[in-house]
Structure 1
């Protein structure tokens, strides 16, 4: 079997409010205003596909949110979203590989985060056979082609794959392709799904 795991809030807890908190402090912009205005819009999606640079993304987001931040200040906030690893998920990934299953990560991400999390959480890379990143692939979930590319690269059909993600749109897209998909709403979902299966 092929097991496909999202990264954020599936293997590693993330919280965008942490970024907004740092930006609020550094830019002297009220946190409530940033929380109201922050959205994952066009620049966000372009950045995750690798279509715009980190600097262009930072400038676009600062403009959208009315923040006067240096690129370094923006980056400090952007990297603050990472909270910590979910050990139960990592343990399950390791067990799956030990029994001969293929385990990969498929993440909508960006260059800035990819410079950060592998150094913070080296155990995540060690728990996966391969890592597929939107900004390297030029496409992002829930676009069907990104799932088809992973299946093709890995040599599995849709009915031989299980996909875990915290975003309903991504789950729906994978399900439409015939991939068995599980919505991860909290840290108990993955251990619960594998109870009795591993």
Structure 2
């Protein structure tokens, strides 16, 4: 079988409120205002597909939110999204590989985050056979072509794959292709899935 794991809130806990908290402190802009203005809109999606540089992304997002931050300040906030590793998921990934399954990560991410999490959470790459990252592929979930790409490279059919993601739209897109998909709504979902 091919087991496909998302990264954020599946293997590693993330929280965008932490990002906005840092930017609020650095810019002197109230958190409530940043929360209203921050969106995962077009520039966010372009960044995840590797279509805009980190610097351009920072500039455009600061413009959208009406704040003035240096690139370093922006990056400090951006990296604050990562909370902690879920060791129980890492253990399951290792177990699946020891049983002869393929285990891969499929994540919508970006260069700026990839400068951070692989150093702080090396356990992720150690537990996976391969990392499929949106900015390397020029595609992002829930685009059907990113799932098809993973299946093609892995030499698997949709029926041979199981996908874990925290975002409902990503789960629905995988299911539409015939992949068995599980929405990870909290940290108990994956351990209880494999306990059955």
TM, length-normalised to structure 1: 0.98
Partner of 1:117: 117
Q: Deviations over 1:89-140 (max 9, x none)?
A: 1110000000000000000000000010000001111000000000000000
Q: Distance in 2 between matches of 1:92 and 1:37?
A: 38
TM-score by length of structure 2 reads 0.99
2:33 is aligned with 1:33:
yes
Structure 1 stretches of at least 4 aligned residues deviating more than 6 Å after TM superposition: none
How far is the alpha carbon of 1:167 from its aligned partner? 0.3
Q: Which residue of 2 aligns with 1:18?
A: 18
Q: Which residue does the alignment assign to 1:104?
A: 104
Residue 180 of structure 1 corresponds to: 180
TM-aligned CA deviation for residue 36 of structure 1:
1.3
Partner SS, residue 185 of structure 1: coil
Q: Note the aligned Cα RMSD (angstroms).
A: 0.4
Unaligned runs of 5+ in 1: none
* SS of residue paired to 1:8: coil
1:156 counterpart residue number: 156
1:192 correspondence with 2:192: yes
Q: What are the equivalent positions in structure 2 for 1:30-109 lying under 5 Å apart?
A: 30-109=30-109
Counterpart-to-counterpart distance in 1, 2:135 and 2:10: 19
